[in-house]
Amino acid sequence: MSGYGEEFQKLIEAVEASRPARVEMAKRGEAFPALTMTQREEWLGKYHPDYKDEGRRAVKVGPNEGQVFPEEVSELLESKSILSDLKIDLSKPDYETDLLVIGAGGAGTAAALAASDQGLKVLVSTKLRHGDSNTVMAEGGIQGADQEGDSPYFHYLDVIGGGHFTNDPALVGAMTNDAPIIIDWLERMGMMFDKFPDGRMKVRHGGGTSRKRMHSAGDMTGAEIMRVVRDEARNRTDTIDILEFSPAVELLTDDNGDVTGAVLYNLETKEYYVVRAKSVLISSGGFGRLHIQGFPTTNHYGATADGIIMAYRAGAALQDLDSTQYHPTGVVYPEQNVGLLITEKVRGLGAQLVNIDGEQFCFPLEPRDVESACVIRECLDIEKGIVTPTGRPGVWLDSPMIDILHGEGTVRKELPAKYIQFKRYGIDISKQPMLIYPTLHYQNGGIKIGADAATSVPGLFGAGEVAGGVHGRNRLMGNSLLDVLVFGRRAGLAAAEHAGKTKGDGKLTLGHVTEFEKSLKDAGIKKPTVGPIILPDYTPDHVKSRQWC
């Protein structure tokens, strides 16, 4: 019994009818034409959620005062501290360390390893468990120009073009040059990359890439990366301590405003802990769980913008935080999977997007923002989308093409997680297409950093999704797994250098919070929300207000 039901089965007939001609075209190496640069600009302006005026407003305080961000972000940037009404004794720290790492996904773990290589004592605090992060959920691959015919130079050009020339060139240079080193580092730690029987790496295209440089581990590349870096970190019990279920809720500064530690909150015991550190790294991920513009998300449960909020209060400047990535292919059916990621690898393997009439309507590997704009246009403007029983629009992602193009069993081998995820609901994606629509996937901007991951505040570093500038206003696939490792390692090294020059015995204060909250008052913000929020609140209002006896 198919999970699609009769009505969808009927609609799928149009996809099946057009498939043989589309497969023949693909076999001849012909593709649906990509948009021209002018069309790209026009379609982005008309259809991409980032280009809407609604749902955005200027932030009234802080280093980026006057800049327009999504409302959800501006509200949190103007929030007051969880600690405002509490008395925390800062004079006797519970922990003292060389480097405090806030957030234990790919970036934080890579930083801990790099700092530990330099002989530093590292304390890693994480909101949930070690590795619970967007890194572990990343599917399709990691870019690295380590194959014949490719070079960091081409990778650099692709990243800059994909970001519409808004990226920070120094950060892109750092990332693309370090990429082959990172792939080699992962392999030496035991990562199981997809390979040909003769040992060569299997590499593929992602959207907006001029060379095949996407390295993968099935459709669980992030999980495999996290496995090796986490194992390595957890083996280093002499230098790396990990505190789980202990999110940071505020940074601490000394009398000069340098960052010197943080306050952690233990989610289990509900106690606060004071940490003194010579260097502090924020690697706590992005803001997907704020559901910007009402979109569902692919993101990890803890992606609530905490790092940005704390860093902003301490005076760190932000960059491109008004730019959000909507992944073109999020699940819209079955309802239980709504918003979940369908990796770009599916299109990298040849699957095409088609509308209700079975027509292909865009080049499948446009840069992500453009591809998303194409899907939104097809559904909302052209009205050639499909509507699910709960009213969600979507188009077909014709995954059965993959087995036809590459041989029976390819879907199960290359996309095992996706195959199981749909099979659970009676849908065999090697035989039936998937219904998709864009889903909130990534925070393109973030804390402004340099190539050494240093922020504008002494003692504070930022790496991974929490930081901005690397990808400009649009990230290409496979560059976030790379970014977290490149800048995580760079942050670990730079934090070690900083720690070596710092006595780390200054007074611990919350002076920056007091000043920030004064600026809230001065700006006329009378009832600020409390932030960071730590976890998203999905309790419906009617449940919250219910009286239980």
Show the tokens assigned to 279. 């260097």
- DSSP symbol at 472: T
CB of 423 to ligand SIN, least distance (A): 19
Residue number with CB closer to ligand SIN (477 or 508): 477
Task: Return the ∠ at Cα 396 (arms to 393 and 398), rounded to 5°.
Answer: 165
Structure tokens at 116: 């530990």
Q: Tell the smallest beta-carbon distance from residue 349 to ligand SIN (Å).
A: 12
Evaluate whether 256 touches 505 at the Cβ level (below 8 Å): no
The helix or strand, by DSSP H or E, that contains position 47, with its residue range, turns out to be helix 37-47
Closer residue to ligand SIN in complex, CB, 339/478:
478
Chain contacts with ligand SIN (rule: CB under 6 A)? 138-140, 341, 343-345, 477-478, 480
3-state helix, strand, coil in the chain (%, to 5): 35, 20, 45
Supply the DSSP symbol for 445: -
E-strand stretches of 197-349: 203-204, 214-215, 240-243, 248-253, 259-265, 272-282, 318-319, 324-331
Q: Which is nearer to ligand SIN, 345 or 490 (CB)?
A: 345
Nearer to ligand SIN, 74 or 444 (CB): 444
Q: Output 246 or 372, the one with its CB closest to ligand SIN.
A: 372
The CB-of-328 to ligand SIN minimum distance in angstroms stands at: 9
286 or 459: CB nearest ligand SIN: 286
The rounded distance, in Å, linking the Cα atoms of 210 and 195 is 21
Please give the DSSP secondary-structure letter assigned to residue 252.
Answer: E
Q: Which of 347, 377, 475, 498 is catalytic?
A: 347
Bridge partner list, 58: 68
Give the CA radius of gyration of the chain: 23
In angstroms, give the least distance from the CB of 140 to ligand SIN: 3
Look at strands 460-462 and 272-282 and give their pairing: parallel
Judged by beta carbon, residue 139 or residue 224, the one nearer ligand SIN is 139
Q: Are 464 and 444 in contact (CB under 8 A)?
A: no
- Let me know if 215 is a catalytic residue: no
Supply the minimum distance, in Å, between the C-beta of residue 345 and ligand SIN. Answer: 6
What gap in Å lies between CA 342 and CA 346, rounded to an integer? Answer: 7
Find tokens 């009927």 and name the residue: 10
* H, E, C per residue of 59-90: CCCCCCCCCEEEHHHHHHHCCEECCCCCCCCC
Helices (H), 325-448: 345-348, 368-376, 400-406, 410-414, 416-423
> Which two tokens mark 420?
């199981």
* Amino acid at position 499, single letter: A
Short-list 373, 535, 508, 432, CA closest to 49: 373
Report the nearest approach of ligand SIN to the CB of residue 476 (Å): 8
Of 97 and 109, CB closest to ligand SIN: 109
State the helix-helix crossing angle for 169-188 and 479-501, rounded to 10 degrees. Answer: 100
Q: Residue 327 CB, nearest distance to ligand SIN (Å)?
A: 6
- Which residue number has the CB closest to ligand SIN? 140
Nearer to ligand SIN, 139 or 378 (CB): 139
Q: How far is the CB of 257 from ligand SIN (least distance, A)?
A: 35
Residue 327 annotated to the active site:
yes
> How big is the chain, counted in residues?
549
Nearest distance, CB of residue 481 and ligand SIN, angstroms:
6
Instruction: Say how far apart CA 64 and CA 55 lie, in whole Å.
Output: 18
Catalytic residue among 205, 327, 441, 473: 327
Enumerate the active-site residues. 327, 347
